[in-house]
Amino acid sequence: MGNLARLLKESWTLVEDQQDKVAGYFYARMFLSHPDLRDLFPVQMDVQRARLLNAIVTAVQTLEDPEVFDEYLKALGRDHRKFHVSPEHYDVVGGALIEAMRAFAGEQWSIEYDQAWADAYGVIAAKMLAGADADTNPPYWHAEVIAHERRSTDIATFTVAPMQPIDYRAGQYLSVEVPKYQPRMWRTYSPANAPRKDNTLDFHVRAIGAGWVSSALVRRLKPGDMVRLAAPMGSMTLDRRSTRDVVFVAGGTGLAPIKALVEELTRYNRTRWVHVFFGARNRDDLYDLAELNKLAARYPWLSLVPACSEDETFPGEQGLISEVVARYGPWSEHDFFVSGSGTMVKATLRTLAELQVPSMRIRYDTFN
Ligand SMILES: Cc1cc2nc3c(=O)[nH]c(=O)nc-3n(C[C@H](O)[C@H](O)[C@H](O)COP(=O)(O)OP(=O)(O)OC[C@H]3O[C@@H](n4cnc5c(N)ncnc54)[C@H](O)[C@@H]3O)c2cc1C
Ligand code: HEM
């Protein structure tokens, strides 16, 4: 371990068990010295009070892996433009971070630690700023909601028309903000369609219990409302050179990116067999089954297996989707795409490992 990394890790251990207090002090310091910065953050900061602080600390501590980190930090810098962050804010945040740690570390804090954090933060900020500077895209796109449909108690689908085209690939996700209902809260959602000529995008959203943004998108959003979309990201995209057959495994609204990928395949695929496994707790949550059935009827290479884990009256497969996938196969020669909640993705990856599917053939996105 290099000297800088040692100093960073060593100093962090002095405050690690007081993270909440450090975070509180960090924000208070920042907002007191620069009250205008408060407007960049959501009104409600309880859900993710320590989000920014944790992110910076993780970034600083992982500095030793510049190869992986370079691209990530550039993308993060590009992405920060959606928060209205400008270059002069970086010094304020860096200063508040070091002050907060110094305040809680006690007597063992040293000038060497100050310098180590200032150096490491400086490198990261420079990379983020370079990423922001090099981006020719707008910080975000404005889009109008042109359709909204409730599909179940908790699930809605909606379509937006961006004012300017957004360049993304099927399977990627975007950040979404609904300024009218939850200003300054950005969450990621996956378009459920491959890019279209008219640039419209479909989204599938499930309202999470106390979730701020998902509840607004499902229960309040209506045609005519405006949303903001930012920074397409993610690598769960199709490899056009692959000739292998494909298996898609989706849980709940994890179907969104999978549907986009299937739609992309409908544009050029003639030779690859494609299997979609779509799982949910009950039949209401299989909210897009009718559409999927239409696609399967139209494209002979597409097969569909829906399953319910808590609905014994459902006349199809029963059980968790990870278990259902294992009932079919063999799958050792297929490309896999897995999308859904953390639990669902984890269970599916475990099953695929047991079935000896090489991990390099699996792409996945986890919703939480
Ligand atoms: C790459 C990616 C793509 C995504 N695509 C979609 C999509 O297409 N459709 C979709 O519906 N969602 C998608 N999500 C999830 C989405 O980004 C939000 O996390 C989700 O909508 C909850 O946001 P919220 O503001 O409503 O909840 P918050 O206010 O952020 O959280 C409220 C509480 O719920 C918990 N929580 C947050 N998310 C979940 C979750 N998924 N399951 C269980 N508990 C949770 C939090 O820990 C918190 O305690 C995606 C997430 C990722 C990372
Ligand atoms: C080393 C520098 C920084 C790093 C590593 C960093 C990292 C991050 C990360 C990973 C997130 C969560 C990503 C997301 O929600 O999309 C985040 C959120 C955020 N960052 Fe930064 N950031 C840095 C500097 C800054 C600066 C200088 C500002 C300006 C005030 C800023 C403002 C914000 C805001 C407003 C959020 C959203 C917070 C929320 O939703 O609660 N960040 N940051």
83-101 pLDDT per residue, tens: 999 999 999 999 999 999 9
- From atom 14 of ligand 1, which residue's Cα is the shortest distance away? 367
Q: Answer yes or no: are the C-beta atoms of 121 and 97 closer than 8 Å.
A: yes
> Which position has the higher pLDDT, 45 or 175?
175
Ligand 2: does its nearest atom lie under 6 Å from the Cβ of 55? yes
| pLDDT, average across residues 117-140 | 94
Ligand 1: does its nearest atom lie under 6 Å from the Cβ of 214? yes
- From atom 53 of ligand 1, which residue's Cα is the shortest distance away? 367
Ligand 2: does its nearest atom lie under 6 Å from the Cβ of 83? yes
Check the CA dihedral 230-249-215-23 and report its sign: negative
Nearest-ligand number for the alpha carbon of 211: 1
Ligand 2: does its nearest atom lie under 6 Å from the Cβ of 292? no
Rounded to whole angstroms, the Cα distance separating 136 from 131 reads 10
Average pLDDT, the chain: 93
Alpha-helical segments (H) within the chain: 3-13, 19-33, 51-61, 66-80, 87-105, 111-134, 212-215, 255-268, 289-298, 321-327, 342-354
Ligand 1: does its nearest atom lie under 6 Å from the Cβ of 218? no
Is it the case that residue 323 has pLDDT exceeding 70?
yes
Q: From ligand 2's centre to the CA of 233, what distance in Å?
A: 16
Q: Answer yes or no: are the C-beta atoms of 254 and 171 closer than 8 Å.
A: no
Top CATH class, 246-366: alpha beta
> Which position has the higher pLDDT, 51 or 343?
343
Q: Answer yes or no: are the C-beta atoms of 175 and 187 closer than 8 Å.
A: yes
Which pLDDT does position 49 carry in this prediction? 61
Is it the case that residue 238 has pLDDT exceeding 90?
yes
Is it the case that residue 298 has pLDDT exceeding 90?
yes
Which pLDDT does position 126 carry in this prediction? 95
**Atom number of ligand 1 nearest to Cα 192:** 8
Percent of the chain with pLDDT over 90: 84
Q: Answer yes or no: are the C-beta atoms of 127 and 121 closer than 8 Å.
A: no
Check the CA dihedral 238-243-244-246 and report its sign: positive
Q: From ligand 2's centre to the CA of 252, what distance in Å?
A: 29
Q: From ligand 1's centre to the CA of 206, what distance in Å?
A: 8
Which range, of 118-122, 193-197, 300-304, 319-323, averages the lowest pLDDT? 118-122
- Nearest Cα residue to 4 out of 181, 123, 100, 98: 123
Q: How confident is the model at residue 71 (pLDDT cuts 50, 70, 90)?
A: confident
Ligand 1: does its nearest atom lie under 6 Å from the Cβ of 187? yes
Which pLDDT does position 5 carry in this prediction? 86
Q: Answer yes or no: are the C-beta atoms of 277 and 318 closer than 8 Å.
A: no
Contacts of 120 (CB under 8 A, 6+ apart): 4, 8, 60, 63
Same fold for the pair 141-233 and 246-366: no
Q: From ligand 1's centre to the CA of 217, what distance in Å?
A: 12
Rounded to whole angstroms, the Cα distance separating 85 from 188 reads 19
Q: How confident is the model at residue 364 (pLDDT cuts 50, 70, 90)?
A: very high
Which pLDDT does position 276 carry in this prediction? 98
Q: Answer yes or no: are the C-beta atoms of 279 and 273 closer than 8 Å.
A: no
Rounded to whole angstroms, the Cα distance separating 232 from 191 reads 10
Question: What is 213-262 written as a DSSP string?
Answer: HHHIIIII--TT-EEEEEEEE------TT--S-EEEEEEGGGHHHHHHHH
**Atom number of ligand 2 nearest to Cα 37:** 30
Q: How confident is the model at residue 50 (pLDDT cuts 50, 70, 90)?
A: low
Question: 223 is written with which tokens?
Answer: 């045609």
Main-chain phi, psi angles of 270, to 5 degrees: -130, -20
Do β-strands 335-340 and 362-366 pair in parallel, antiparallel, or remain unpaired? parallel
- Please state the CATH superfamily assignment of the domain spanning residues 3-134 in this structure: Globins (1.10.490.10)
Ligand 2: does its nearest atom lie under 6 Å from the Cβ of 95? no
**Atom number of ligand 2 nearest to Cα 83:** 35
Question: For residue range 10-35, what is the model confidence (pLDDT) as tens digits?
Answer: 999 999 899 889 999 999 999 999 99
Main-chain phi, psi angles of 296, to 5 degrees: -65, -35
Please tell me whether residue 131 adopts helix, strand or coil conformation.
Answer: helix
Contacts of 86 (CB under 8 A, 6+ apart): none
Q: From ligand 2's centre to the CA of 19, what distance in Å?
A: 17
Nearest-ligand number for the alpha carbon of 191: 1
Which pLDDT does position 67 carry in this prediction? 67
Q: From ligand 1's centre to the CA of 85, what distance in Å?
A: 24
Which pLDDT does position 256 carry in this prediction? 98
Rounded to whole angstroms, the Cα distance separating 329 from 326 reads 7
Q: From ligand 2's centre to the CA of 73, what distance in Å?
A: 11
Q: Answer yes or no: are the C-beta atoms of 170 and 260 closer than 8 Å.
A: yes
Rounded to whole angstroms, the Cα distance separating 247 from 324 reads 12
Which pLDDT does position 147 carry in this prediction? 98
| pLDDT, average across residues 95-116 | 94
- From atom 31 of ligand 2, which residue's Cα is the shortest distance away? 85
Which pLDDT does position 1 carry in this prediction? 61
Q: Answer yes or no: are the C-beta atoms of 307 and 279 closer than 8 Å.
A: yes
Main-chain phi, psi angles of 68, to 5 degrees: -65, -35
Amino acid letter, residue 315: P
- From atom 17 of ligand 1, which residue's Cα is the shortest distance away? 188
Ligand 1: does its nearest atom lie under 6 Å from the Cβ of 121? no
Q: How many other CB atoms sit within 10 Å of the CB of residue 232?
A: 17
Question: For residue range 262-294, what is the model confidence (pLDDT) as tens digits?
Answer: 999 999 999 999 999 999 999 999 999 999 999
Which pLDDT does position 69 carry in this prediction? 80
In the chain, where are the structural domains located?
3-134, 141-233, 246-366
Nearest-ligand number for the alpha carbon of 62: 2
Percent of the chain with pLDDT over 70: 97
CATH classification of 141-233, choosing from 2.40.30.10, 3.40.50.970, 3.40.309.10, 3.40.710.10? 2.40.30.10
- From atom 23 of ligand 2, which residue's Cα is the shortest distance away? 56
Q: From ligand 2's centre to the CA of 124, what distance in Å?
A: 12
